[in-house]
Amino acid sequence: MKSLLILSSLLVLFVPVIPLCINDSKQSNQVTNNSASPVQVNLYYGLLCSYCKAFIINQLAPTYAKLNKTGIMSLSMFPYGNSRYIVQNSTNDIKFTCASGVEECKAHMILVRKMDKLLDQINHNP
């Protein structure tokens, strides 16, 4: 029950930034100087990381809001953070560990699935 409460509160917090997680290919073509490519920013963040949350809310989101229509910046966000994975050689199973524990790993997996479904909807309904 506790994990469901944590996951739902995380999704409420991070679902509004899912559009920031999608790398918009149309945006990349809007650079005003044709000789320059947009700066690609890839952010790997942890859902339970208070520093990541503060960075996204206080720095990244306002910067992206100012620059997203200029085409100068292309942003991709990955809910991975300080995670690690180990492949078991004998079974090929993959085991994930996250800096903030099992709940963070579960939250990352849920958000990745939500992002994947959103991308499918966008790609199939242009």
**SS3 call for 125:** coil
Cα-only R_g, the chain? 17
Nearest Cα neighbor of 107 from 115, 28, 121 is 115
> Which long-range contacts does 5-9 make (Cβ < 8 Å, 24+ apart)?
6/103, 6/107, 7/103, 7/106, 7/107, 7/110
For residues 80 and 19, give the distance between their C-alpha atoms in angstroms, rounded to a whole number.
17
Q: Note if the pTM is more than 0.75.
A: no
Residue-wise pLDDT for 28-85, tens only, equals 445 455 567 899 999 988 888 889 999 999 999 999 999 988 889 899 988 887 778 8
